Chains A and B, each alone.
Chain A
Amino acid sequence: MVEIVPRLLKDQLLKLAEANNRIDGRGKNQRRDVNLEVNVLTNAEGSAKVVWGGTIVYAGVKFEIRTPWPDRPTEGSLMCGAELRPVANLKYEPGPPSAESIELGRVVDRGIRESGCINMEELCIVPGEKVWGVMIDIHVMSDKGNIFDACALAGIAALKTAIVPAERFDVGEDHPLPVSKIPIMASYRKVGGRFVYDPCEEEELGGDERVHITLGDDGHVHSLQKGLKGTFSTSEFAEIFANANEQAKELREMVEEKVN
């Protein structure tokens, strides 16, 4: 992207921030409309579609049977990958996975994994021989800002609806995948000198550093990621942390309502 556009946009965003306003008229911590649908893909064992403002993301869960790691003979595995394909935005180019798409997948993966929502021992079929490998694939179809939160939401919602396809693999009866927690991510962007929640496309283009925080059901932090150039103070972080708790509560209720 040519530098001059973000420069002009930056000036505009700074003026808006001084007037306590945002480019799309939202409040500092106001979320865009979010719509979550589950069980939208027949060939995935669990699936979800998130429409988050103009951002659209699908997540699908697949299972495979694999041999466990020698040092953990009774544990299955969980893997979460995100793809930023060129379908999602003009700015994404075809080719091998970019650093951005790898970061996205790994940050979402950590939040889900570290929340302990899946007990890896429950994925064991025959100790030392057969365990389930659970794979969450996240597909970004339209990027209009804040794909991180949309991907994390789609990922956990898809996981909550997943049915273990034991019959197809001839290892017992199909059953719902036990998922005990709902980790939720909240992302903030420094725009015009202050942090705002749920940045839109223009705020990402003309903004500075970003912070992603994933919170578990009990309010504990499960993953953090600071991205891009820039620094922030501990008091700024405290404010983000407090707000993330409120955002997570609302979104967790949305997931609970949809999957039950």
Chain B
Amino acid sequence: MGGYGDVELIAKDGKRLDGRLADELRPITIEVGVLPAARGSCRMTWGLNIAEVAVYGPMEAHPRKIQRPDRAVLDVRYNMAPFSTSDRIRPGFNRRSREISKVTAEALESIVMVEMFPRSKIRVEIEILCAEAGTRCCGITAAAVALADAGIPMKDMLVSVAAGKINDVVVLDLDKAEDNYGQADLPVGIMPNTEEIAFLQMDGDLSPEEFDLAMKYNMKAAKEIHKLQMSALKSKYNGGVQ
């Protein structure tokens, strides 16, 4: 968090800089089957964020030491394209993307029926083409759709969404300015049918009451996004009409 709590991000009428109310999401679109080389794929736009995800496998796990005799492993890469941010990102190893790849893999392993594919691996490639705050949520949400598009058996969908705090007010889905000058960010991954949490991170400063409200916003938003995920998947078998 930038921690500059004194930058005015909410107007007197309660509206945020882009005109949203506290519990409102940015516009979201989801499409499946967009990458012909992949077994399953998804393109998601979330505000100005653009993520495209490819899924390959299940296939034999290499190198052999990553194999698990009783289940599949998820080999997840979250990567930001060099042109995805205002300052160019040098391609290659980066601590932030490593961490996000790791927590994303662990979240997805919680919903994929990995025990059906012993000794195999499933590759999930998340590419962020345009980044404007909230790319990890966008990547995880799109990855779950791409896995379903690839026909990988799953216990539930997974929706990732974040709430946070700006100007001492709890709000849903922080944009770039709010993320830079906000006071807290709470991204979660929610299984929309069981309401279980498969992914959780947080940084900043939240009171227990603020945390409860942020989680409430997230839960409500997850149900909304879940509808978009399902209609994108169904539309593939319906001539692309959502």
Contact = CB atoms under 8 A, between A and B. Distances in A.
B143 to A, nearest CB: 12
Interface string B52-68: 10101001000000000
Contact of A88 (B37, B81, B87): B37
Nearest to A46: B83
B242 interface: no
Contacts of B127: 85, 87, 139, 141
B50 to A, nearest CB: 7
Contacts of A168: 86
A62 B88 contact: yes
Interface in A163-222: 168, 201
A87 to B, nearest CB: 4
B129 interface: yes
B81 A137 contact: yes
A67 B4 CA distance: 34
Contact of A41 (B36, B37, B50): B50
A137 B35 contact: no
Interface residues of B, number: 30
B83 A44 contact: yes
B88 A137 contact: yes
Nearest to A51: B36
A257 B78 CA distance: 35
Interface in A43-68: 43-44, 47, 54-56, 58, 60-62, 64
B25 interface: no
A135 B37 contact: no
B37 A54 contact: yes
Contacts of A135: 82, 88
A46 B59 CA distance: 38
A64 B88 contact: yes
A90 interface: yes
A41 B38 contact: no
Interface in B59-111: 59, 77, 79, 81-88, 91-92
B88 A86 contact: no
Interface residues of A, number: 33
A137 B77 CA distance: 19
A89 B79 CA distance: 15
Given A90-B56, A141-B52, A60 B81 contact: yes
A54 B50 contact: no
Given A135-B88, A142-B36, A41 B130 contact: yes
A41 B79 contact: no
Nearest to A168: B86
A25 interface: no
A42 interface: yes
Given A83-B91, A144-B36, A41 B129 contact: yes
Given A58-B129, A81-B91, A141-B52, A43 B37 contact: no
B48 A42 contact: yes
B77 A60 contact: no
A83 B89 CA distance: 13
B185 interface: no
Nearest to A91: B37
A42 B50 CA distance: 10
A90 to B, nearest CB: 5
B30 interface: no
Nearest to A139: B81
B123 interface: yes
A102 to B, nearest CB: 12
Contacts of B56: 86, 90
Interface of B: 34-38, 48, 50, 52, 54, 56, 59, 77, 79, 81-88, 91-92, 123, 125, 127, 129-132
Interface of A: 41-44, 47, 54-56, 58, 60-62, 64, 81, 83, 85-90, 94, 96-97, 135, 137, 139, 141-144, 168, 201
Q: 6 closest Cβ contacts across the A-B interface?
A: A60-B83, A54-B36, A87-B125, A44-B83, A137-B82, A62-B88
24 contacts: A41-B50, A43-B48, A43-B83, A43-B131, A47-B83, A56-B35, A62-B82, A62-B88, A64-B88, A81-B91, A83-B82, A85-B79, A85-B127, A86-B56, A87-B35, A87-B54, A87-B79, A87-B125, A88-B54, A90-B59, A139-B83, A141-B35, A142-B38, A143-B37
